[in-house]
Amino acid sequence: MSKRLQVLLPDEEMQEIQRLAMSDNLTVGEYVRRTLKDARAHRPAIDAVSKLKAVREASKYSFPTGDIDQVLSEIARGYEG
pTM, full prediction: 0.58
- C-alpha distances in Å from residue 20, one per residue of 8, 34, 54, 67: 18, 12, 41, 49
Domain regions of the chain by residue span? 11-80
Q: Specify the pLDDT at position 17.
A: 98
Q: Specify the pLDDT at position 36.
A: 97
* 23 three-state secondary structure: helix
Sequence-distant contacts of 66-70: CB under 8 A, at least 24 apart: none
Q: Specify the pLDDT at position 53.
A: 95
Write out pLDDT tens, residues 11-66. Answer: 999 999 999 999 999 999 999 999 999 999 998 888 999 999 999 999 999 877 78
